[in-house]
Amino acid sequence: MAGVSFTWHGDQFNALLVSEMQKRLKTVGEVVKSEIVKSMDISGRSITAAAKHGIGPIRSKERMKVGKKKRVYIFRSRPGEVPHVQTAMLRRSMQWEFQRSSWSVRIGSPLKYARPLELGTRKMAPRPFIRRGLIACLPRIQKILTAPLPQR
């Protein structure tokens, strides 16, 4: 074939693909983390929070008076619900980590009580918050990962 030449750009394409997928996986981690944090917006303290979110009537075992002067009540989440915010430690501790070796994103919390809340124990039913956030984000994740590559 005279006059026809081919230029192989495989290495450049591979570098572009690796860079783009790393960026997209990091975006997925941030999107899922923000969805999880957003889902934990139900306060577990005060009567106004209970009224705002339609929690009630409160049974006496689910209500604890805190403090001597203030009338603050703690409302525990029911099995299957996202944990109600008591101190916001769980919400603040949510993290994501991109693992290049396995091309994956890990999302979770380093707090000791995060895993028992998510999965439950022998004595407590699960209160899934990570799974719910992930399921809520699935369409967005699919859109992020399957978007066309940028033209260069």
Using alpha carbons, select from 77, 75, 58, 64 the residue that is nearest to residue 125. 77
> H-type helices in the chain, by residue range?
10-39, 47-52, 89-93, 114-119, 130-146
Calpha distance 132→120 (Å, rounded)? 15
Q: What confidence score (pLDDT) does residue 43 get?
A: 60
Distance CA(20)–CA(134), nearest Å, equals 22
User: Residue with structure tokens 């890990």?
Assistant: 106
Question: Using only C-alpha atoms, what is the Rg of the chain?
Answer: 23
Residues of the chain with pLDDT under 70: 1-2, 42-74, 152
Residue 84 CB neighbour total at 10 angstroms: 21
Q: What is the pLDDT of residue 139?
A: 95
pLDDT of residue 60: 41
Q: Are 56 and 63 in contact (CB under 8 A)?
A: no
57 prior amide bond cis, ω within 30: yes
